[in-house]
Amino acid sequence: MLHAAALAGQRGDRVLFEQLHVELAPGTVTWPRGRNGRGKTTLLRLLAGLATPLAGEIRVAGALERRSDPASRRGLLYIGHQNGLKDDLSASEALAFLMRLAGSRPAAAEIEGALERLGVHAKRHALVRTLSQGQRRRVALARLALLLATPLWLLDEPFDALDVDGIATLNELLGEHAERGGATLLTSHQALSLAQPVPQVLDLDHHASGHGRA
């Protein structure tokens, strides 16, 4: 589904990883592991097409991903560390706008259903500025309950700020996505509690630039 070969990424002037191969197959969850500053977020941004790799190539569904080509971003959902919600919009308005950006216009009932799934239905008319960090995260993640046809999910620390209940819901959504044949790549600084499918670990420490030379 997504295939990246001999990938090298940098932040600033520092090369973070080299010769990294990433293969996201249908029905899998991939979990890049590595110490802080190893380039987990950088990898995600590269795969999402928000940054250009230093070397290597990324293919989504066989087609080369290019930053300047908007069509290559279809079929890909990226939820970054920041939620992308505007403070002055209500939770449902903010979600509707994000959906519209993805090229989909769900009905009001669908939006409400997604917010209900994530447990923030009661806050649907509240302005984002009045929501807690965990509630904002839930609104941003509500896209996962709507963009079912998007095969590729790239999630940066999706479990951040979520409580036990929220983590369980997200695990459910990830499991359903894998069952549909979707692929997910997610970062998490805590151990994953996802039972099905079993996350495949991608070891970034092993691909760190200068590994074995120091």
Partner 1 sequence: MTDLFVAVLLRDLKLASRRRIDTLLPLVFFGVALSLFPLGVGPERETLRLIAPGVVWVCALLASMLSVNQLFAGDLADGSLEQMLLAPQPAVALAAAKCAVHWILTGLPLLVATPLVAVLFDLSLPAFAALAFGLLLGTPILSLLGALGAALTLGLRSGGMLLILIVLPLATPALIFGTGAVGTVEAGLSASGHFSLLGALLIVTALGAPWATAAALRISTE
Interaction site with partner 1 (CB under 8 A): 48-52, 67-68, 70-71, 73-74, 76, 78, 80-89, 93, 97-98, 100-103
Closest to partner 1 by CB, 68 vs 210, is 68
- In the complex, least distance from residue 79 CB atom to partner 1, rounded to whole angstroms: 9
Closest to partner 1 by CB, 27 vs 84, is 84
- In the complex, least distance from residue 167 CB atom to partner 1, rounded to whole angstroms: 21
Closest to partner 1 by CB, 71 vs 109, is 71
- In the complex, least distance from residue 129 CB atom to partner 1, rounded to whole angstroms: 10
Beta-carbon count within 10 A of 125 CB: 9
Beta-carbon count within 10 A of 180 CB: 12
Closest to partner 1 by CB, 129 vs 206, is 129
Specify whether the CB–CB gap between 183 and 28 falls below 8 A: yes
Tokens of 172: 């459910």
- In the complex, least distance from residue 78 CB atom to partner 1, rounded to whole angstroms: 6
- In the complex, least distance from residue 150 CB atom to partner 1, rounded to whole angstroms: 10
Closest to partner 1 by CB, 82 vs 190, is 82
